[in-house]
Amino acid sequence: MFTRRQFVFGAVAAATAGSAGLRFAGAADAPATADLDALTSAGAKLTQAGGAVTKLELRDCSKLAEADYARLGRLTGLKGLTLGRCTGLTEKTLPLLAGLTALEELSFEGSQISDEGMKHFAAFISLKSASFFHPSFGMKGYNGSGFANLKALTKLQKLTVAGSPFNDDGMAAIGQITQLQSFRTWHTYQTPAGTASLAKLPNLKDLRFGQRLRRYDGKPNTLTLDDAALDDLAKISTLELLYLDEANLTHGGLVKLKALTKLKELTLERIIVPAADIEKLKADLPKVKITVKPIEPADLDKLEKGLKA
């Protein structure tokens, strides 16, 4: 399921059959047209610039065949790629996209790529921003350690990992991607122990940090975000923007953020916290813009249930 958390690549225009103005770099017109026809028939929306396809958005990739991923890989001018419900994107089909060396932004939802298969992302040498929603959900043995392969992408600045069995091994891998400036994560199997890995990112300025994914397999449901967890977040000294989501917090926990001397903005969404505590916090952090997003009654009931151990 795609949400507002996904990247929006701007206005998109559906390409029509026989679009003579759309070209692949270095490809003959006939196969280019055939590929475009196949992809648009599958529901892809395309954006072109300078006679080349530069962005592609396909919200439902569930029916794509291996040949379709090969077609995507021939769009060598792509700079932005959004794929939803892409369970067919695996370590077998991901290498078919290796020709997308100009790709700067990608957003994948539902991919089924193993930790070993993550090595194929090394092909995307121009990548600046990557989002993974529900990656490898249900895959046996997956833990997110394969994200360490992204450290080779020297231009990568923004990364999102959400809705996944990604755990503390995955967080340790994130700690190796030292070029990251922005990281967003929520609804994973990470525990408080994994949070410490974020302090290893010397360039991290922007962090969106949400609650763990509730488990139903009998294993502990330790909260990722609570007053105690703020001890580790307060050690990320480079932070300028901090967004916290889904937690029960108090002034005693939030005041720890005084240690973040570079912090400019703090946003609290779906956070249960007394109004009086927020007023105290504003006095403690006079130079920080603090935004508290109200919790809808229906969301409050759901949140309280989700925060139970």
The chain-wide mean pLDDT, for the chain, equals 91
CA 279 to chain centre: 32
Helix (H) or strand (E) holding 108: strand 105-109
pLDDT in the model for residue 32? 80
pLDDT in the model for residue 105? 99
What pLDDT, in 10s, does the model give residues 193-205?
999 999 999 999 9
Q: How confident is the model at residue 24 (pLDDT cuts 50, 70, 90)?
A: very low
Helix (H) or strand (E) holding 164: strand 158-164
Return the closest-CA partner of residue 246 out of 218, 282, 289, 213: 213
What pLDDT, in 10s, does the model give residues 71-91?
999 999 999 999 999 999 999
Q: Is the pLDDT of residue 271 over 90?
A: yes
Q: Is the pLDDT of residue 70 over 60?
A: yes
**Crossing angle of helices 66-73 and 29-41, rounded to 10°:** 130
Q: Is the pLDDT of residue 159 over 50?
A: yes
Q: How confident is the model at residue 260 (pLDDT cuts 50, 70, 90)?
A: very high
pLDDT in the model for residue 10? 40
- Whether residue 104 is contained in a domain is answered as no
Q: How confident is the model at residue 50 (pLDDT cuts 50, 70, 90)?
A: confident
Return the closest-CA partner of residue 21 out of 58, 54, 70, 63: 54
What pLDDT, in 10s, does the model give residues 101-129?
999 999 999 999 999 999 999 999 999 99
Mean pLDDT of 92-99: 98
Q: Which domain holds residue 299?
A: 235-309
What is the DSSP code (8-state) at residue 28?
-
pLDDT in the model for residue 23? 41
Phi, psi of 233 (to 5 degrees): -65, -35
Is 47 within 8 Å of 11 (Cβ atoms)? Answer: yes
Domain count, the chain: 1
Is 188 within 8 Å of 165 (Cβ atoms)? Answer: yes
pLDDT in the model for residue 28? 39
80-83 and 52-58: which strand pairing?
A: parallel
Which three-class secondary structure state does DSSP give residue 173? Answer: helix
- Whether residue 7 is contained in a domain is answered as no
pLDDT in the model for residue 8? 37
Q: Is the pLDDT of residue 1 over 70?
A: no
pLDDT in the model for residue 11? 37
pLDDT in the model for residue 27? 41
- Whether residue 258 is contained in a domain is answered as yes
- Whether residue 136 is contained in a domain is answered as no
- Whether residue 85 is contained in a domain is answered as no
What pLDDT, in 10s, does the model give residues 208-256?
999 999 988 888 899 999 999 999 999 999 999 999 999 999 999 999 9
